[in-house]
Chain A
Amino acid sequence: MKLDARIPDGPIEEKWDRHKFEMKLVNPANKRKYDIIVVGSGLAGGAAAATLAELGYNVACFCYQDSPRRAHSIAAQGGINAAKNYQNDGDSVFRLFYDTVKGGDFRSREANVFRLAQESVNIIDQCVAMGVPFAREYGGYLANRSFGGAQVSRTFYARGQTGQQLLLGVYAALSRQIAAGNVAMFRRTEMLDLVTVEGRAAGIVTRNLITGKVESFSAHSVVLATGGYGNAFFLSTNAMGCNVTAAYRAYKKGAGFANPCYTQIHPTCIPVSGDYQSKLTLMSESLRNDGRVWVPKNKEDTGKDPSDIPDEKRDYYLERKYPSFGNLAPRDISSRSAKEVCDEGRGVGPGGLGVYLDFRDAIERLGRDAIEQRYGNLFDMYYRITGDDPYRTPMRIYPAVHYTMGGLWVDYNLESTIPGLFVAGEANFSDHGANRLGASALMQGLADGYFVLPYTMGNYLASARPEKVSTDHPEFKKAEADVAGRVDKLLSINGKRTVDSFHRELGKILWDDCGMARSEDSLKRALTRIPELREEFWENVRVPGENDTFNQSLEKAGRVVDFLEFGELMVRDALARDESCGGHFRVDHQTEDGEAKRDDENFAHAAVWEHKGDGEEPVRHQEELVFENVKLATRSYK
């Protein structure tokens, strides 16, 4: 596997502009001769589909949901970063770039991150022009707030529903192109395989979730914008349907998978309350602007009513350990600190797996109205789920799997190791290193979809001049037969256990052994447990119903099949990365005060896995990361 990142020459500030000029263009009359498949309709996929269609390409867009407006980008709460410096507080493109590289614990690719910071300002302009109702000041100008890992206020927001408003903007642009006949939209249609012909991406095989029909689609190029793999853990903040299938199938067809062990555990989620739990709910990190995180100083106080615990008996541990960032320390650090205090027996709530997020002081200082204005919908949501009123009693929170920084490897053009296969948004690996900063996922999704792919796609089509392959080609027929065979097999096992019970068990293995803290022992244990579970799945799973009807058990089963294989890759990657960095914390590599200890000499690279066939060990390749503009340093938020 050849890993050429194709980073343009020149100083970092000039790379993208220069590249944009040097890339080839497709003339307007020729654009309509090209067909492009976009899988996923979230911020990255929806924006790419709409923008490519605006340019004149023929686009086919696929989503498993019943409408493109439901992609999981919609659930992002807090905001979107942009280096506008509207607050005059010293922000700049370089600072956003620097914060992102540092926040990612120096495991991302400089050139990509710089481009992301550059495009961030255009995203805000574009979204405002499309009618996204961002929060505003009385003077009519855009409002900002601060977020973890930054000392400037650069986050644009729409109450606690920023992802929703940005996605509805994307959906509006996409709807306009659907109405204009430039995008063919396939709803409730799931991609189940990628087809390559002579080493190039030639199309996809899908299953219609209503009729069960397995069908092929061919195109000149394919974009995957299918999100992350957090649901490998069963319990995560992802939507129920989020899955790794499209990305994993591409991996099995030859796309390199980078850094699968990088998962982000978000510090502020509502704790697990019982074994019926189907997912975890995030409480936006923006709450840490005004909420103070604490646990009792003494174990004996953990059962007490929090209002009976006086200040001197509270440990505001983030403020104590990280005085300059306080409650706004980055996500990985905040999550680990919460785990630490709970491991010490100072956690609160059922099972001692929770810490307080307290708004008492903010309500005293600013008044209840101001807090309601900022976080009203989040407080309501918390109340509905837990039955506790956060205006009166502190919230209880605990870390949960939220985002995955790893993904399919892409070069500077967002092209994977398979020519003609592009990957955007959370599905790729490029911008967040080993830890993503808050309010940067929306930024990356939209940058990829609105401002990067529309350029780099033209360059690919104009220089490679790919031929469209007929869906009668044997490779398509073979992939269709594989998909149909897998479906038949799942339906015929008729064992004793449900799909969910396997998924839940896999999630528990990954959370226990490859979660917030990982060790060589735990990872090796997982490497034996996962194959055993997979074996049992193929013997003992029960998938009721048929293929040719709407069958949700069958949908889930297909996704769990891929999680059961992918989970192993994740663990393998975590074992091979014999250092701690960002969200990947190996207990055997920590500083004296318990911080992640990187090994830059041996691990300043992206690990890229190559599939070698079922039952064969995958091969690990490396893309060395070169830091010319940011000095490698130990992250300090003290």
Chain B
Amino acid sequence: MNLTLYVWRQKNRDAPGEMVRYPAEDINPDASFLEMLDVVNERLIEKGEEPISFDSDCREGICGTCSMVINGQAHGPIPGVTVCQLHMRYFEDGSTIYIEPWRAKPFPVIRDLVVDRAALDEVIAAGGYVTANCGSAPEANSLPVSKENADRSFDAATCIGCGACVAACPNGSAMLFTAAKLAHLHELPQGQAERQRRTKNMVDAMDLAGFGNCTNHYECEAACPKQISVDTIARMNREYLRARWSYRDEG
């Protein structure tokens, strides 16, 4: 199949960027989107041009590294899929495809389609864990967890931290990302002791990093490759309110 690409090229964080047109000819429809870009890049290198930088690692949809906006949609047109799992057979021969990086204030562009997502790590570092030093654990089966709770926890824990929710949100909000981590831990008995402290600290860290607020567009849920529900955001808001009222930090 033959395609026309318009790709965001930007040399570094401070340089101006622009959309550049590239023909992508003779592409196998069974190739993944990233493999299509590999082919384009090989041809660019052979012509003496610099290849398009983009992030990817596992290419199995689980590491969360790949990140690009395709025709205005984070991870492209197919729901529940990362861009590495998107295959060219879903595009029509002859189509024009626009490819851009995640765009959000806390995600500065490193080069072309590659952005810096360290801000998401900061949100997790603010409380996305159970404080349990290695060696302190009781026997695993001493604390039963109902299957329903375990399943709900797991559904939220499938978040791959790709940042598509932020890229899709008109406000650049990381509410879905943060809420998913809270839901993962709060559905489990292990997460209860630090529940309020965690909620407050993670939400505050999210604000501090410059992520926007939620105004109920639900674009995050639509873009999420793991299809995490916006219900988690409602639960987080309730939890945050409670934490603000009743949680007192020792300091």
Contacts and interface: CB of A to CB of B under 8 A. Distances in A.
A131 interface: yes
A272 to B, nearest CB: 11
Nearest to B111: A550
A70 B57 CA distance: 8
A125 B56 contact: no
Interface string A137-149: 1111110000000
B132 to A, nearest CB: 4
Contact of A140 (B32, B89, B144): B144
Contacts of B126: 179
A404 to B, nearest CB: 17
A271 to B, nearest CB: 11
Contacts of B111: 549-550
Given A134-B150, A550-B114, A173 B134 contact: yes
Contacts of A175: 121, 124-125, 128-129
Nearest to A386: B30
B38 interface: yes
Interface stretch (A102-110, A164-172, A310-318): A164-172
Nearest to A141: B141
Contact of B136 (A129, A142, A171, A552): A129
Contacts of B116: 66
A176 B129 contact: yes
B63 A544 contact: no
B50 interface: yes
Given A164-B62, A274-B31, A128 B143 contact: yes
Interface string A439-465: 000000000001100100000000000
Nearest to B11: A549
A51 interface: yes
B161 to A, nearest CB: 6
Interface in A237-279: 239-241, 273-274, 276-279
A130 B125 contact: no
A124 interface: yes
B53 interface: yes
Given A276-B35, A498-B42, A54 B57 contact: no
Interface string B105-145: 00000110010111011001110111111111111110111
Given A126-B134, A274-B30, A550-B111, A164 B158 contact: yes
Nearest to B158: A161
A175 B185 CA distance: 15
Interface string A457-491: 00000000000000000000000000000000000
A69 interface: yes
B133 A54 contact: yes
Contacts of B89: 387
A604 interface: no
B210 interface: no
Given A51-B134, A65-B65, A136-B145, A173 B129 contact: yes
A274 B28 contact: yes
Contact of B53 (A70, A126, A496, A550): A550
B147 A130 contact: no
B190 interface: yes
Interface in B37-70: 38-39, 42, 45-46, 48-51, 53, 55-65
B197 interface: no
A74 B58 contact: yes
A176 B147 CA distance: 28
Contacts of B121: 67-69, 175, 178, 185, 187
A553 B51 contact: yes
A354 to B, nearest CB: 14
Given A75-B58, A130-B130, A131-B190, A124 B146 contact: no
A384 interface: yes
A544 B48 contact: yes
| Contact-residue bracket for chain A | 35 or more
B158 A130 contact: no
A67 B120 contact: yes
A278 B34 contact: yes
Contact of B87 (A47, A134, A278, A387): A387
Contacts of B77: none
A31 interface: no
A133 interface: yes
Contacts of B190: 128-131
Of B11, B58, B137, most A-chain CB atoms within 10 Å: B58
B209 interface: no
Contacts of B170: none
Contact of B63 (A70, A128, A130, A451): A70
Contacts of A75: 58, 60, 62-63
A634 interface: no
A544 B121 CA distance: 32
A544 B125 CA distance: 37
A498 B46 contact: yes
Contacts of A240: 56-59
A122 B150 CA distance: 20
B70 to A, nearest CB: 15
A67 B117 contact: yes
Contacts of A385: 32, 85, 87
B157 A133 contact: yes
Interface string B85-105: 111010000000000000000
Contact of A241 (B57, B60, B139): B57
A454 B161 CA distance: 29
Nearest to B121: A67
A142 B57 contact: no
A145 B129 CA distance: 27
Given A65-B65, A140-B145, A239-B57, A158 B51 contact: no
Contact of B38 (A47, A187, A500, A542): A500
Contacts of A550: 12, 53, 110-111, 114
A381 interface: yes
Contact of B110 (A51, A54, A179, A210): A210
B153 interface: yes
Nearest to B139: A125
Contacts of A137: 147
12 contacts: A66-B117, A70-B63, A126-B137, A128-B137, A131-B184, A138-B147, A172-B129, A239-B58, A240-B56, A277-B31, A278-B35, A387-B87
Given A65-B63, A133-B187, A165-B154, 9 more contacts: A72-B57, A129-B137, A131-B184, A131-B191, A133-B154, A136-B147, A278-B34, A545-B50, A549-B111
